[in-house]
């Protein structure tokens, strides 16, 4: 029984971290591409002597979510909340042991 609990815990932990890191890596990668694009346009306009208006270089965030991403995010949040509850329970138990 104890080995089964450890195995399930390890699988859930791996699943959580894979979803967690894939979610944030994709977000920051898209954000960087937009920033680089805006900087290139700014430098080009500056060289050409055009009027510089900040709003011309601010791009709206695109929503890349689809059903699979939404399910993954909900699952990740569920695992995160469950993990937090388990850790709090374990810490309370360890405090009682001392």
Residues 24-69 have pLDDT tens digits of: 665 555 555 557 777 788 888 889 888 887 777 776 666 666 787 7
> Which pTM was predicted?
0.38
* Count of residues making up the chain: 98
How far is residue 73's CA from residue 6's CA, in Å, rounded to a whole number?
24
Angle between helices 67-97 and 2-48 (to 10 degrees): 130
Q: In the chain, what are the domain boundaries?
A: 2-97
pLDDT over 60 (residue 20):
yes
């Amino acid at each position: 029984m104890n080995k089964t609990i450890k195995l399930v815990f390890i699988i859930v932990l791996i699943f959580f971290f894979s979803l967690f890191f894939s979610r944030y890596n994709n977000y920051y990668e898209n954000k960087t591409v937009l920033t680089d694009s805006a900087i290139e346009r700014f430098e080009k306009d500056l060289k050409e002597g055009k009027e510089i208006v900040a709003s011309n270089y601010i791009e709206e965030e695109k929503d890349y979510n689809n059903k699979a991403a939404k399910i993954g995010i909900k699952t990740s949040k569920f695992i995160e909340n469950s993990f937090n509850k388990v850790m709090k329970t374990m810490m309370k138990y360890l405090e009682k042991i001392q």
